[in-house]
Structure 1
Amino acid sequence: MEKNLNITVLLVDDNEDIIDFITDDLSDQYNVRSAGNGLKALEILKSEPIQMVISDIMMPGMDGLELCKIIKSSVELSHIPVILLTAKNTLQSKIEGLETGADAYVEKPFSPEFLQVQISSLLKNRDKVKAYFANSPLLHIKTMAYSRADEQFLEKLQQIINNSLNDPDLDVEHLADQMNMSRPTFYRKIKAISDLSPNELINLTRLKKAAELLNEGTLKIYEIAEMVGYSSQTQFGRNFSRQFGMSPTDYLNNQQAEKKNRPI
C-alpha cells in the first residue's frame, strides 16, 4: 500500500508497546510521530503539521481527555481530528470522550484493521466536505467547521475578507494580521481546514460572493466583477468558469430558470 506523505498521524500513549504496535501497522500508509503524554503531544502539535491525533485516555500528567479538550478549543489546532483509545468499556467514559470533541472512540483491545478504517473514514469525510465547499457556489465557508472554535475562526475570516472584497490587493499578510496570527500559523490553519492556500481561499470567497450577487439578479456581470475585486471582467469570467464549471452568464441563466420553475 502506497504511503500518503501528506498525512502525519500523532500517536499519544505512555505505553511503548502500544506505540510500537500501532506505529508498525500505520507506518506503511502514513507518517507517524509519537508522544508519551499529552504535554509532549502539544509541543509537537504546535511545531509540526499534524493531520490526525490518536490518543490513549489514561495517561499520567495530562490525560487524553484533557489533551482532546485543548486541541478542540484551540484555534490553531481545532481542525485536527482526534481518535481516543481506552480500555474503559463504560457508557460514561464514551460520553466524556465525545463531550471533549473527540471525532471517534475506539475501545481496547482493537484490531488494527478497525483503527485503519476509522482513520480512513475521518480523512475521506473531510476531503469530501472540502471538495463540496469548493465546488458549491452558494455554500458558506463555515460548512467546513468541525468544532465551535473552527466555526468562530471561519466566521471571523469570512467577515474580514468580505469587508475588503473589492480590494484587488487583499493578501495573506492582511488576513493573518487581522486574525492575530503569525503568517506561518495562519497559512497552516487555512491549508489544513480547506486544502487551499490563503490566496486561493480569498479568490474562492470573491467568486462565491459573485455567485451570491448573480443569484440576486439585480446587477450586471461587470458590476459584480468590480465589486468582488476584479479589474477585468474577462479574468473574472475565466476564474468563475474554472471554479464552478460554468460561465457567470450560464450560472445567472440557470439560477433564473430555477426560480421560474419553483412552485409558488
Structure 2
Amino acid sequence: MTESILVVDDNREILEFLSEVLGDTYKIHLAESAEIALQVMDTEVIQLIVLDVMLPGMDGFELCQLVKSNVEYCHIPIVLLTSKNSHRSHITGLEAGADAYIRKPFSPEFLQVQIANLLNNRLKIKAHFATSPFEDVRVMAHSKTDETFLKQLDDYIRKNIQDSQIDIDKLAEHMNMSRPTFYRKIKSLSALSPKELIDITRLKKAAGLIAENAYSLAEISRMVGYSTQSLFSRNFQKHFKVSPNEYLKSLPLAK
C-alpha cells in the first residue's frame, strides 16, 4: 500500500518542491491553508501530514493542535516545518502535538528520513498487532484519545462477537462517527478495513479460548461468530501463520 501524505503550505513553489521530493514514494495531497487541509482529511485516508507553521488564517501550530485533539484525526503523525529557529517555537510545536519538528532550510533527504521513520515505526506496530494472537488493540494507540477510542471499539466487537454479521453502520454509530469517517479512521490507524479489524478481533478471541483448552474448535468457531469451522481455520492460518491445532499444540499447557 502506498501511504498518503498531506502537505500543507501557502507557498505554491514549496508545495511543488515537496510534491516532487515525496511524490515518487507516496501519494501526495496538497493544501494551501488549514481550511483546505481539513477538507482533504474529511475525504481521504491520510497517513502523515507535513505542515508549515506560517499559514494564512489558522496557523500551523493551531492546526496541529486541532488535529491532535480531534478523535477523527489524532492518530495522524505531523511533521512541522518552520523558519522560526527559537527554542520557544520548537517547544510550542511539541506542545501542539507535533511528532517531528524541522527547521528551514532543510535537506530533502532529512525530511524523507524523518517521514520514513515515522511511517515505518507505525507500520511495524500495525503488523505486530495483526499477526500476534494476544496483542491488545490499544498497542496501536498514539494518544490517550486513541487508547479510549480503541478500547470502546474493541469492547463493542467482543460484546457482539457471536454475531457473524456485525453491522458496520451500527458500529460507526456506536463510535459517534459517520460510516465514511469511521472507515478512514480505522484504515489510517490500523491499515485494516473495519471488516478486517472485526475478523482479527474474532481470531484473537479464539486464540484466548484455544489457550483455555476447554472447548472444541467447532465450539470456538461458533463462539467467535464463524459460520463454519473450515472458514475459521483458514482465517486463523492466514493471520497467525499457524493452524488452530498447531497453535494449541504449541501452548505450554498442551505439552
- Report the TM-score when normalising by structure 1: 0.88
Which residue of the partner structure matches residue 179 of structure 1? 175
Tell me, in whole angstroms, the C-alpha distance in 2 between the residues paired with 1:213 and 1:104. 42
Tell me, in whole angstroms, the C-alpha distance in 2 between the residues paired with 1:21 and 1:184. 31
Within 5 Å, give how 1:29-68 maps onto structure 2. 29-68=25-64
- SS of the residue 1:9 aligns to: strand
Tell me, in whole angstroms, the C-alpha distance in 2 between the residues paired with 1:171 and 1:81. 30
Shift of 1:257: 5.0
- CA deviation map 1:158-198 (0-9, x unaligned): 01101100111213222112222222221222122112221
Tell me, in whole angstroms, the C-alpha distance in 2 between the residues paired with 1:219 and 1:91. 60
Pairing partner for 1:236 from 221, 232, 247: 232
Within 5 Å, give how 1:153-172 maps onto structure 2. 153-172=149-168
1:195 aligns with 2:185: no
Q: Residue 69 of structure 1 contacts residue 100 of structure 1 at CA under 8 Å; is this kept in 2?
A: yes
Q: Residue 51 of structure 2 contacts residue 80 of structure 2 at CA under 8 Å; is this kept in 1?
A: yes
Pairing partner for 2:251 from 230, 249, 255: 255
* Paired-residue identity, %: 51
1:207 aligns with 2:203: yes
Tell me, in whole angstroms, the C-alpha distance in 2 between the residues paired with 1:71 and 1:152. 16
* Farther off after superposition, 104-113 or 176-185: 176-185
Q: Which amino acid aligns with 1:245?
A: K
Task: Give aligned pairs, total.
Answer: 255
Pairing partner for 2:74 from 78, 93, 103: 78
Segments of structure 2 that go 5 or more residues without pairing to the other structure are none
Q: Which amino acid aligns with 2:206?
A: A
Q: Residue 171 of structure 1 contacts residue 199 of structure 1 at CA under 8 Å; is this kept in 2?
A: no
Instruction: Report the RMSD for the aligned CA atoms in angstroms.
Output: 2.0
Tell me, in whole angstroms, the C-alpha distance in 2 between the residues paired with 1:153 and 1:50. 18
Shift of 1:244: 0.7
Q: Which amino acid aligns with 1:256?
A: P
Q: Residue 237 of structure 1 contacts residue 247 of structure 1 at CA under 8 Å; is this kept in 2?
A: yes
- SS of the residue 2:7 aligns to: strand
Tell me, in whole angstroms, the C-alpha distance in 2 between the residues paired with 1:77 and 1:29. 22
Shift of 1:210: 0.9
Q: Residue 79 of structure 1 contacts residue 147 of structure 1 at CA under 8 Å; is this kept in 2?
A: yes
Q: Which amino acid aligns with 1:79?
A: H
- Report the TM-score when normalising by structure 2: 0.91
Tell me, in whole angstroms, the C-alpha distance in 1 between the residues paired with 2:41 and 2:185. 12
